[in-house]
Amino acid sequence: MKRLLAVLVAAVFAVGAVGVATVATAQDKPKSATDDKMKMTTKTAAGTVKSSAGDSVVVAGKSKGKDAEWTFGVDGKTKIKKAGKDVNAGDLKAGDWVSVRYMDHDGKSMAQTITVTAKKAQP
């Protein structure tokens, strides 16, 4: 009986030690890039292309009723559509009406998607 009790106490102690170690490991885990991405919010902007290059697009539009201009970074992950086809940033022309979905990352506005659409009627 004493032997059975000793085995049970040892088993409970071992399970408790593993549980404490697991909790400590989870709490000490460093933040990953995925954690940061989950906290970032997606924003949108719309306007006309002023200029475009391989790594950026400048768009002029309105924000909160005032004239605004944004420079969006473009990388290999950015999806750009024009006339239903995938294109590069260099294929965008000044005057194209675009809708941009982007995220602020390290002080830059990085475009996730850029879609060329028909120009909306201006008031």
pTM: 0.65
For the chain, domain boundaries: 2-30, 41-117
Instruction: Write the pLDDT tens digit of every residue in 46-60.
Output: 999 999 998 999 999
CATH superfamily for 41-117 is Copper binding periplasmic protein CusF (2.40.50.320)
Average pLDDT, the chain: 81
Q: Which is more confidently placed, 74 or 123? A: 74
| Residue 20, SS3 per DSSP | helix
Q: For 1-30, what is the mean pLDDT?
A: 61
Q: Report CA dihedral (28, 30, 31, 34) to the nearest 10 degrees.
A: -110
